[in-house]
Amino acid sequence: MVRPPFPPSVAAPARCGRRPSARAAAAITLLAAFAAAPALGAGAERPTVIEFHADWCGTCALVEPVLETLEREHRGLVRFVRFDVSNRASLASSRHEAERLGLLEVFEAFRSRTGTVAVLDPRGEPVEVFRGETDLDRYRAAIARAAARATPQEEERS
């Protein structure tokens, strides 16, 4: 699968010698990680929500009830992936799972950013990335946008 180039607004270097903001730098990191990652394997016919979680993370504790609600609402329609980076054992297990799913580059880019949730379309392209977001409607909107991006196989079936 050929990934589209970065949007000019994100890929453009900082103007006037200024460094990009932390948010812009995170967006660039995310796009680079997704561009390097192969397309998702099994389950790629539906949107994917990826959570970077740690037991000791306060932000993760705030986001957890929202994600549990989303999982109940979208069971079978959306694939939920949770990368637990709480300790060395869970980190190793999550790294293995990320590799199996073709998301190792994304995992490596965001494993230290607990409380981050990424919504991907069925092709594995990022739709939106949240950090510590507790607004259920923002997640629902991102999932709806992801679901609206049908893969070519789904378009042919319609």
Flag whether pLDDT at 52 surpasses 70: yes
- Residue 78 to residue 72: CA distance in whole angstroms: 10
Report the DSSP pairing between strands 48-53 and 126-131.
unpaired
* Secondary structure, 3-state, 69-81: HHHHHCCCCCEEE
- 136 in the Ramachandran plot: left (φ > 0), alpha (ψ -120 to 50) or beta? alpha
At 82-141, the pLDDT tens digits run: 999 999 999 999 999 999 988 888 899 888 899 999 999 998 889 999 999 999 999 999
Report the pLDDT value the prediction gives residue 124, as an integer from 0 to 100: 84
Burial of 125 (0-12, 13-18, 19+ CB in 10 A): middle
C-beta neighbour count of 104 within 10 angstroms: 18
- Could you give the domains of the chain? 24-157 (3.40.30.10)
Length of the chain in terms of residues written: 158
| Paired tokens of 55 | 């037991």
Q: Is residue 62's pLDDT more than 80?
A: yes
Rounded to whole angstroms, how far apart are CA atoms 48 and 29? 19
Ordered alpha helix ranges (H), the chain: 8-11, 22-36, 58-73, 88-101, 104-110, 136-148, 152-157
